[in-house]
Amino acid sequence: MYTYEYPHPAVTTDIVIFTLRDQQLKLLLIKRRCEPFKGSWALPGGFVHLNEALEIAAKRELEEETGVTDVYLEQLFTYGNPDRDPRERVITVAYFALIASDKIEVRAATDAEAVGWFAMDEIPNLAFDHQTIVETARQRLSAKLDYSTIAFQFMPEQFTLSALQDVYETILQAEVDKRNFRKWVLALERIEETGEMQSSGAHRPAKLYRVKEPGKVEIIK
């Protein structure tokens, strides 16, 4: 048991993790095994340990509950309304994560009955205020496409320009002109040809590209 002179809230991290599959933006959710909201879908997350930095806690929870490692992670927002958890005062530091579709290897773990990727228009009712958190993350993602190189975080090691364009179109939910897109993205000088080609069906093969500095997200413009 732990006692304090003044009341202390509990602190958790929750992670909104996106990927792209089947030309859809998808979000990782877990099915809660414990109360409250037992059986509901929720964001992966959990309590911050006493000697653990916040970002480390987020990474640990993500790995424990889903097996996902090696992701782009940034702090999103901190939610602390007094009544957001029915048990006690819980403040959650929400994180926002992206993973390339070829690195996904999901397994359900201890706290979770199940784990699943959900398309944005098929998200079930979520526990706590997780719906709000997801909306904020969604907005942040769209905004960052415009002024950073964050979209590259979704790409596998090698990819075609059409695949990259698909990422932009899917997230922004808008069509993009092919010629203008190619000019723009090549002018950024953040990707380069690998020299290899991809043949996939009855049409001209496509050049493959790679990100020059895969871990890096830069502000552009």
Which residues of this chain interact with DNA, rule CB under 7 A? 160-162, 177-180, 182-184, 187, 199, 201-207, 221
* Residues in contact with 84: Cβ distance below 8 Å, sequence separation at least 6, in sequence order: 90, 92, 128, 129
Question: In whole angstroms, what is the distance from residue 63 CA to residue 57 CA?
Answer: 10
- Residue 109 makes contact with its own copies by CB under 8 A: no
Instruction: Choose from its own copies, DNA, none: what does 33 bind? Cβ within 5-8 Å by kind.
Output: none
Nearer to DNA, 132 or 194 (CB): 194
Q: Judged by CB under 8 A, which stretch of 23-31, 70-78, 110-118, 184-192 contacts its own copies?
A: 70-78
Residue holding tokens 């979520």?
Answer: 126
Name the minimum Å distance from CB 211 to DNA.
16
Minimum CB distance to DNA, residue 166 (Å) = 9
The gap from C-alpha 211 to its chain's centroid, in whole angstroms, comes to 19
Q: Which phi and psi (to 5°) does residue 41 adopt?
A: -80, 145
Q: Nearest approach, Cβ of 88 to its own copies (angstroms)?
A: 8
- Choices 42-50, 107-115, 128-136, 207-215; region in contact with its own copies by CB under 8 A: 42-50
Q: From the list DNA, its own copies, none, which binds 7 (C-beta under 5 to 8 Å, kind-based)?
A: its own copies
Environment class of 8 (CB within 10 Å of its CB; exposed 0-12, middle 13-18, buried 19+) = exposed
Instruction: For its own copies, give the closer residue by CB, 5 or 35.
Output: 5
Residues, the chain: 221
On the CB side of 46, how many CA atoms lie within 13 Å of its CA? 23
**Residue 106 Rama label (left phi>0; alpha psi -120 to 50; beta):** beta
The nearer residue to its own copies, 1 or 174, going by C-beta atoms, is 1
Q: Is residue 10 a contact residue for its own copies (CB under 8 A)? A: yes
Separation in Å, CA 39 to CA 30, 31, 111: 9, 6, 11
Least separation in angstroms between residue 220's CB and DNA is 9
Q: Answer yes or no whether residue 77 interacts with its own copies by CB under 8 A.
A: yes
CB of 54 to its own copies, least distance (A): 4
Closer of 1 and 202 to its own copies (Cβ): 1
Instruction: Write the CA distances from 140 to 59, 74, 155, 188, integer angstroms.
Output: 20, 11, 18, 21
Residues that bind its own copies (CB under 8 A): 1-11, 47-48, 50-54, 75, 77-78, 80-82, 89, 91, 93
